[in-house]
Amino acid sequence: AEVVEKLADSDADMLEINVSCPNVSAGGMSVGADPVALANLMDRLRPLTDKPMIVKLTPNVTDITVPARAAVEHGADALSMINTLKGMRINIRNGEPIIANVTGGVSGPAVLPIGLAAVYHTRTVLPDIPIIGLGGIDSGEKALEYLYAGANAVEVGAAALFDPVAPLRVARELDDLLDSRPELAAKLAAGQTWR
């Protein structure tokens, strides 16, 4: 709430509320996985700003449409999905977790199918909410998959850690792909989705 209050009068066009960070130990995952806690958080944050609020959802749930609905019903203007999957690694020399927090977020190509399914199912139950698809996008083709799954826009994350110009490359590749798909390009330009 403190951050939202500080950013309410900033030049930011919108705010992304990360309710699903697996890399922090103090309840980072629990809010995004619990629709009641998420609804309570949104009820607390929504009155603090008129800026559009995007809620970034966790894939670490049985049915992502449940927290998605809670977020939208309690003031989210858009959704971004997915955040990282909870995972861990073990140091084989000493048998201890490699990550100090024991578990952390898994991202990159491995999460692409999970992200696509999350967008697809959420678009089915929430046909009008803007959705930003993310998770495993490192090419224009993968970005296009998210658009066909029902995303309005896409975000490149982990790929930029290995290739700082990945977002620009993905955007160029996607632009080229959309040139050959005028029906999808027209829908996106009109604020619609493929599905």
State the angle between helix axes of 65-73 and 112-125 in degrees (0 to 180), rounded to the nearest 10.
50
CB 60 within 8 A of CB 21: no
CB 178 within 8 A of CB 184: yes
User: Which letter, b or e, does each residue of 99-112 get, where b requires 16 or more Cβ atoms within 10 Å of its Cβ?
Assistant: beeebbbbbbeebb
Biggest distance spanned by C-alpha atoms of the chain: 56
Q: Which of 21, 41, 81, 154 is catalytic?
A: 21
Asked if 142 is an active-site residue, the reply is: no
* Tokens 């632009």, located at residue: 175
Phi, psi of 97 (to 5 degrees): -60, 140
* Residues with catalytic function: 21
